[in-house]
Structures are given as structure tokens and as C-alpha cells.
Amino acid sequence: MTSSAQRPYRGVFPVAPTIFDANGNLDLDGQRRCVDFMIDAGSHGICILANFSEQFVLTDAERETVMHAVLEHVAGRIPVIVTTTHFSSAECTARSREAQAAGAAMVMIMPPYHGATFRVGEPAIYEFYRVVSDAINIPIMIQDAPVAGTPLSVDFLARMANELANVRYFKIEVPMAANKLRGLIEKGGSVIEGPWDGEEAITLMADLDAGATGAMTGGGYPDGIRQIIDPFLAGRRDEAVQAYARWLPLINYENRQCGLQACKVLMREGGVIKSDAVRHPLQPLHPATRAGLIEIARSLDPVVLRWGR
């Protein structure tokens, strides 16, 4: 079932973690509770199977299981973005077609990369996105992130937006993201349907000022990110700045101290999920780091700390 939300998609689309039990197995009941919390906390949509979802520790079969479980449970309540990144054009296309058939509103795809050195040049990157775009009829979000180690110039991104029918959204989370967003909007014009912020909202205010219309953050406190993005998009910038100042200590702590584990720790603390386990070789947060995260969060009273109590 597809979401009733209309394009262009705007607002807060946090990444949902993949929930494991204490033994490291998929916890689909916990996954469903996680999604229900994220919807109740104000997410305009969610993204699944991203790096912050630990997609890199999942088997292909587990990816499919999580995707179908989430899409069936969401049942069109909000749009769901499915990450389908893969080095292979054929595999990425197959993943993207399966996501579309299952009800995804959009797919998010990084440029082809593998390890520290396997990259392809712009002509091959262009063909990669062209192949996927031609195979589906839902939008593609290009994830422009340092982990890929692949430079994507403003001119190149704007060219793909102009020439490839479904390349319409861009999650920009490289250094100087605001400048890149501003340039992309100027170069691409109306075909840049979704210039979006990423990296746990650490640059959200600057990115909104540059023209960002969406934010893909961690999944722990969408209600807090809403307090920033809602007033900004409504023309109340001063209110957004004040909210950003309130939430920035937690945003910073997640981004600089905890990474992808912050969301799960907060969800477990608030009774949303039973286990905040990550898969080996990832390690649990140090107890002092965990305590620091919870202390900052409690001062802000996010929905996550009371949803399951």
C-alpha cells in the first residue's frame, strides 16, 4: 500500500534502526513498535535499511524481511524510503524494483563504492543511476555522504536531475553541506524536488537557511526535530533558531559521541524496544557515554523516553 502523502515530500524523515534481540536476531515485534513510536513522535516519513539501520550487517534475506515487515506494518500511514544501495547496477535495480513493488515511496542510493579504493568515475556513476531510474517510477534520493568517498559535484548532480527522470531528491551530508545545497538549488532549479539535510541534523539550521526542505536524522527524537523544521518552513525562523539551540546539545552528542546507537539506547530507555543490541563487531556504548546521552535527553523530555512507559 502506498502512502497518502503527496510529493514533494517535506519535513522530518528519520532513519529507523534495525531492531535485534539480545542474541543478535531480528526482533520484528520490536521493529514494529519502533515504527509506531516514530510515527507517534511526529515523523513525516521514515527511511529504512540505511547505514544508521546497520544495513551492512544484514543478509539479503534479512533485508527483505525487514523491508516487508515495515512496509506492511506502516500500511500507508506515512511514506517509507527504502535504501537500496549496492555496487552492482543490476542488484541495486533489483532491490529498487522490489522496494517499489512492496510499497516504498522512494529509494535512497549512494554512488557505487566498495571498501576504501573501489570507485567508478562520473560516466559510470551516471549510467548506474540511469539504469535504476529507467527501471522504476518512484523517486530516487542520491545520498551524498563522505562514507562513499566519491566526489559528486554540484554540476554533476544537477545534470543527473535534469536528465534522469526519477533522480529528484538529494541528501547532502558532506562538509560545507549548506553551500552545496545552495549551489544545487541554483543550478538545478525546479527539478531539485527535495534538497535535504542529513548527518543527524548537526548542520540543520544552516541547511534550512540554504533551502533544505527535508531532514533525514536519527530516529530517536523526531518530535524535537519537528520543533525546528516546522516553524522554519512556516516562516517563523526566530522560533526555529531557538528550538535548534535547545536541541543542539543532544544532536551534537548523538553525532559526535554515539552515532547509530543513540536511537536504540533512547528507545530502550523509554520502553519502546527491549534490547538496544548492535551486531558484532559493533560494540555497546560505554556506560558513561550512555548515561550522558540519557541525561541530556531527559532535560528535553522527548517522546521516546515516555512512549513505552
Per-residue pLDDT of 118-154, as tens digits, reads 999 999 999 999 999 999 999 999 999 999 999 999 9
pTM: 0.96
Active-site option among 171, 180, 187, 264: 171
Residues 220/304, Cβ–Cβ less than 8 Å = yes
What per-residue confidence (pLDDT) applies to 5?
Answer: 76
What per-residue confidence (pLDDT) applies to 116?
Answer: 78
- The DSSP letter of residue 268 is H
Cβ atoms within 10 Å of 116's Cβ, excluding its own: 7
What per-residue confidence (pLDDT) applies to 4?
Answer: 52
d(Cα 166, Cα 271) in Å, to the nearest integer?
39
Catalytic annotation on 171?
yes
Q: Where are the alpha helices (DSSP H) in 84-191?
A: 89-102, 122-135, 154-163, 177-188
d(Cα 235, Cα 46) in Å, to the nearest integer?
24
Residues 49/16, Cβ–Cβ less than 8 Å = no
39 HSE (CA, 13 A, CB side): 17
All domains of the chain, ordered by start, with CATH? 11-222 (3.20.20.70)
Residues 269/305, Cβ–Cβ less than 8 Å = yes
d(Cα 250, Cα 256) in Å, to the nearest integer?
10
Cβ atoms within 10 Å of 280's Cβ, excluding its own: 8
| 216 is an annotated ligand-binding site residue | yes
Cβ atoms within 10 Å of 291's Cβ, excluding its own: 12
**Which residues of the chain register pLDDT less than 70?**
1-4
Identify which of 212, 288, 285, 300 has the alpha carbon closest to the alpha carbon of residue 249: 300
What per-residue confidence (pLDDT) applies to 1?
Answer: 43
Q: For the chain, state the CA radius of gyration.
A: 18
d(Cα 145, Cα 281) in Å, to the nearest integer?
22
